[in-house]
Structure 1
Amino acid sequence: MLTIVIVCCTVIAYLLGSIPTALWYGEAYFGLDIRKHGSGNAGATNTFRVLGKRAGTIVLLIDAIKGWIATSIAMMLYYSHLIDWNDCETLKLIFGFAAVLGHVFPAFSNFKGGKGVATLLGMVMSVHAEAALVCMVIFFLVFLASNYVSLGSIIASLAFPVLLVLKTFGNENDLNIIFGFALFLMVAVTHRKNIVRLLKGEESRIYFRPKKK
């Protein structure tokens, strides 16, 4: 019975991650398919680039929230006394990964989604809030210094497992560290084209503040 519940929760987490926020928001409020503009990516970064800061912020927040909710399903099972704390920590990672996978390969939009960074942020907030906050600071510092969202995302995603390895917040669950590096690899893979453009100096910049003329 418990196995069936866990499988169902994993599917729910994937479906939550599959909600194509950028696509639906763009169609509902701007009458356009975000995948046909900018980088062609259905994520928060391209929404910022194509639809502006307000739309990008909304998409970013919703994508992060869906990752947090999906990951936190494990807490519901824990408080329902269906699993113990060790199982809860493991299932957080499984449900969170399912949500990120859903964002990258969404069932509701032909399996063509975003790069998973905002959803990953929501997952990390649920798994390890302290590390998530530090990673957010790292992201903004890199972004403000370089104006590259992709570079900030890659470095911040790497910072998460590194912070755990360094025991910045005390002794850590080895499984969290392993998944941290696995998720960094996922971010690196989904940003492979961005990495190539960064190396060539061709990556598009996004300015937090308007450039001075």
Structure 2
Amino acid sequence: MDIILYNIGLAIFCLIIGYLFGSIPSGVIIGKLFFKQDPRDFGSHNSGGTNASRLWGFKYGFLVYLFDFIKVAIPLWALWAVLTIVPFGTRPLVASANDILLNQTSDFIIQWPVYWLVSLGAVIGHCYPVFAQFKGGKAASVTFSTAIFGSWFVGLVSVLGFFTTLKIKKYISLASIVGSIIAAIGAWLTCIPGFGLIAMYGNTLASGWVFGVVMTLSSTLLIFRHRTNIGRIVKKTERKITWMK
């Protein structure tokens, strides 16, 4: 019973930590700091980097993207380090990626990579931030951050999918959707024995089904948040980029 409670409690803790970091409204902070504006009052009425770029230019949009990426990477890697490196009694609380790969987890209280829930919490917080009236972004930057900082392979294929789609169709929204779907598929591919170790950053974040579930749920939320964009794409009224030929 104690082990079950540890697992449930730590899972909730990781979700909450991720949610609080994800709730930091980068776009709102930058908008009010430099322009005395809330991006949610203009354009597509969200606080994401794309809307920020259209309102204030690439430089400030890039800053929003950068901080949105960081607010996933920092808590994810920090919780990974604390849970898998710092001793909790005689050993760390959570099994390492190598222990999970070799199925040598019986001596650990937490036998699965619970830290991935930090990323899921961050995606939810980004979309529905407690610090900004639950009105946030559309999950693109934080989903791609999970992909890129979680696995070089998943990050690479998702970014390639994003820019290939953007090059062909010129829709940032569609490119984000396609890239996130590719990221989810790529995360599930890390379940393949042997490939997972190659696809990740060495013996750090664990590959496998938890990563796959987190990326799938993140992609699903991203698609849901882009539902109005999908409607405009179907009607051919969605705004296209002009800076890529």
User: What TM-score does the superposition give when structure 1 sets the normalisation length?
Assistant: 0.88
Q: 2:224 maps to what in 1?
A: 189
- Shift of residue 194, structure 1, vs aligned partner: 0.5
Take 2:111 and 2:140, find their aligned partners in 1: how far apart are those partners? 23
- Shift of residue 74, structure 1, vs aligned partner: 2.4
Gap change, CA 1:83 and 1:155, over 3 Å in 2: same
Q: 1:145 maps to what in 2?
A: 168
Take 2:239 and 2:46, find their aligned partners in 1: how far apart are those partners? 13
**Aligned letter for 1:170?**
F
Take 1:89 and 1:201, find their aligned partners in 2: how far apart are those partners? 45
Take 1:83 and 1:105, find their aligned partners in 2: how far apart are those partners? 29
Q: Does the residue aligned with 1:202 lie in a helix, a strand or coil?
A: coil
Q: Percent identity of the aligned residues? A: 29
Q: Deviations over 1:47-102 (max 9, x none)?
A: 11111100111111110111112222223211112211245863232111001101
Structure label with greater radius of gyration: 2
- Shift of residue 34, structure 1, vs aligned partner: 0.6
Q: Which has more helix, going by share of residues?
A: 1
**Aligned letter for 1:96?**
S
Indicate if the aligned counterparts of 1:106 and 1:112 stay in contact, CA closer than 8 A: yes
Take 1:60 and 1:39, find their aligned partners in 2: how far apart are those partners? 16
2:154 aligned to 102, 121, 131, which one? 131
Gap change, CA 1:9 and 1:152, over 3 Å in 2: same
Q: Does 1:170 align with 2:195?
A: yes
- Shift of residue 120, structure 1, vs aligned partner: 1.4
Q: Does 1:179 align with 2:179?
A: no
Indicate if the aligned counterparts of 1:45 and 1:56 stay in contact, CA closer than 8 A: yes
User: What TM-score does the superposition give when structure 2 sets the normalisation length?
Assistant: 0.77
Q: Which moved more, 1:144-153 or 1:166-175?
A: 166-175
Q: 2:203 maps to what in 1?
A: none
Alpha carbon RMSD of aligned pairs, Å?
2.4
1:23 aligned to 22, 28, 32, which one? 28
Take 1:18 and 1:88, find their aligned partners in 2: how far apart are those partners? 28
Q: 1:37 maps to what in 2?
A: 42
Q: 1:84 maps to what in 2?
A: 95
- Shift of residue 9, structure 1, vs aligned partner: 4.1
- The answer for unaligned runs of 5 or more in structure 2 is 87-91, 101-109, 197-206
**Aligned letter for 1:180?**
M
Aligned residues: 210
Take 2:26 and 2:217, find their aligned partners in 1: how far apart are those partners? 25
Q: Does the residue aligned with 1:204 lie in a helix, a strand or coil?
A: coil
- The answer for unaligned runs of 5 or more in structure 1 is none
- Shift of residue 125, structure 1, vs aligned partner: 2.4
